[in-house]
Structure 1
Amino acid sequence: MFDLTGLGDWGTLPFFTNDLPQITSKIDGDVLPPPALTFAALARTQPDAVRVVILGQDPYHTPGKADGLAFSIPAQFGGRLDSLGNIFKEIQSDTGRSRSQTALQDWADQGVLLLNTALTVPPGQPKAHAKLGWSTLVRQVFERLGDRPRAIILWGGPAQAYAKYLAPDHLILQSAHPSPLSAHRGFFGSRPFSKVNQWLIDQGQEPISWADP
């Protein structure tokens, strides 16, 4: 069902042998993003390239909106941006620079792993796969990334539940989810983008270009 050919070093995680078959057996019907894109975030940003992790909730449940990278939306989608629109507002407020490009592959190519706590969702059924077993993959991803400090952004309650699995030398930023339902409860004004970049600079690394490439 799922395309595992591009996983690279992530493919060594025990999840793919021990847990994914069980998840696959529980899925009945269509999922979003399409199965060829389920692991696009991992394929795009390999473990040693990861400098920042943004952890969200589950993929967009509107057909054509999810592309396998958390919060990213294909350029041709043309619908409401919701969470991503609020992310753009915070980028502008936080950094003084603007972003309108909805596809976030350029972030991934700079070392930003855009991951959700669940990697699939049935069309029109948000959170329906939240307890399907994806949590094992997320824990193993963070274990793999424990070899050196990274910047970790946890947006929303489901993401914040993973804080206890993180090595203490990471930069860990937690706030409300950027969803229109919760962004005003602490996401706006949290300034994650400038905080991450200052931390990266302090670590002797290049900052992330969050604005339009």
Structure 2
Amino acid sequence: MPPIKRNPKQASLFSTLDEGAPLALLPEDVSLDLPAGWQPELSNEISAPYMKQLLSYLVERSQHAVIYPAAHDWLHALEVTPLSAVKVVMIGQDPYHQPNQAHGLCFSVKPDIKVPPSLVNIYKELSTDLGIEPAAHGFLESWAKQGVLMMNSVLTVEDSTPNAHKDKGWERFTDKIIEIVNRECTNVVFLLWGSYAQKKGASIDRSRHCVLEAPHPSPLSAHRGFFGSRPFSQANAYLTSHSITPIQWQLPDL
């Protein structure tokens, strides 16, 4: 379901939820529709004043800039991976900022889109680690459906402008999600790649979860220790040791 709640009595509604379209809804009527798999844990957070301010800001910015991903994908990571299913958490920074790339899962791109450089390196490590040949696409939703929560810290961005929505409220929201997983789940693997993700995951209880840290898979840092870190086999070994079904990292053909 689209994450935007729309009041049918409101005259100025979203004209469309397509990528890049202005969000034509009055700010006071904006709210997010929380996926059922994260209720009631996130119910108070989604309606907090700072979230209302964030969404009003996004509505205003959408009149002047193209926002990625499309509004119905802002909470896609939560839709695909309910809290009860979380086995692994990947933390990214913010969405891809070019057309038709971002769809709400960190590192993943839509089908038929060129595989981005960081994901190319993730595939290289997957091949070295588990002997899995790189997929011809960058659509990672099959991981998310198996319990890999693939969440950026900031859930929106503007066209060609990395970090455009930094410090607008998304970080507080996604910090809350990590806090909930840390508290409500056990034996989750956190893949923290790069200093940004590692700082965001600093409060994770390592006595009840597995934290695997490595440099970011970006071409700028992958050779500093991401390559050779073997995160996929380590994650599966940990899950298996706790009688949890491991992740099938082999991506299906599209």
Bucket of the pairwise TM-score, normalised by the shorter protein: over 0.9
What per-residue deviation string (whole Å, max 9, x for no partner) do you get for residues 4-47 of structure 1? 44611325313211132111122312211111111101111000
In the alignment, does 2:188 pair up with 1:158? Answer: no
Residue in structure 1 matching 2:92, options 43, 46, 56: 56
Partner Cα separation in structure 1 for residue 190 and residue 235 of structure 2: 9
Contact 1:149 1:171 in 2 (8 A): yes
Partner Cα separation in structure 1 for residue 251 and residue 79 of structure 2: 22
Over the aligned positions, Cα root-mean-square deviation in angstroms equals 1.7
Partner Cα separation in structure 1 for residue 147 and residue 134 of structure 2: 18
Change (3 A) 1:106 1:184: same
In the alignment, does 2:159 pair up with 1:123? Answer: yes
TM-score, structure 1 length as denominator?
0.93
Contact 1:150 1:170 in 2 (8 A): yes
In structure 2, the residue matched to 1:172 is 211
In the alignment, does 2:56 pair up with 1:25? Answer: yes
In structure 2, the residue matched to 1:47 is 83
* Higher Cα Rg, which structure: 2
Residue segments in structure 2 that go unaligned for 5+ positions in a row: 5-31
Partner Cα separation in structure 2 for residue 130 and residue 159 of structure 1: 14
Change (3 A) 1:137 1:50: same
Residue segments in structure 1 that go unaligned for 5+ positions in a row: none
State the Cα distance separating 1:200 from its structure 2 match: 0.6
In structure 2, the residue matched to 1:190 is 229
Q: Which amino acid in structure 1 is aligned with residue 38 of structure 2?
A: W
What per-residue deviation string (whole Å, max 9, x for no partner) do you get for residues 139-182 of structure 1? 21122212222101111222111222212211001111112222
Q: What is the SS of the residue equivalent to 1:180?
A: coil
Contact 2:178 2:201 in 1 (8 A): no
Q: What is the SS of the residue equivalent to 1:212?
A: coil
State the Cα distance separating 1:76 from its structure 2 match: 1.9
In structure 2, the residue matched to 1:97 is 132
Q: Which amino acid in structure 1 is aligned with residue 45 of structure 2?
A: F
Partner Cα separation in structure 2 for residue 154 and residue 130 of structure 1: 19
Residue in structure 2 matching 1:35, options 47, 52, 71: 71
Partner Cα separation in structure 1 for residue 219 and residue 177 of structure 2: 28
Partner Cα separation in structure 2 for residue 149 and residue 197 of structure 1: 11
In structure 1, the residue matched to 2:123 is 88
Partner Cα separation in structure 2 for residue 211 and residue 191 of structure 1: 15
Q: Which amino acid in structure 2 is aligned with residue 204 of structure 1?
A: S
Partner Cα separation in structure 1 for residue 118 and residue 157 of structure 2: 16
**Which sits farther off after the overlay, 173-182 or 42-51?**
173-182
In structure 1, the residue matched to 2:144 is 108
RCO (CA 8 Å, sep 6+): is it higher in 1 or 2? 1
In the alignment, does 2:107 pair up with 1:68? Answer: no
Partner Cα separation in structure 2 for residue 20 and residue 185 of structure 1: 37
TM-score, structure 2 length as denominator?
0.78
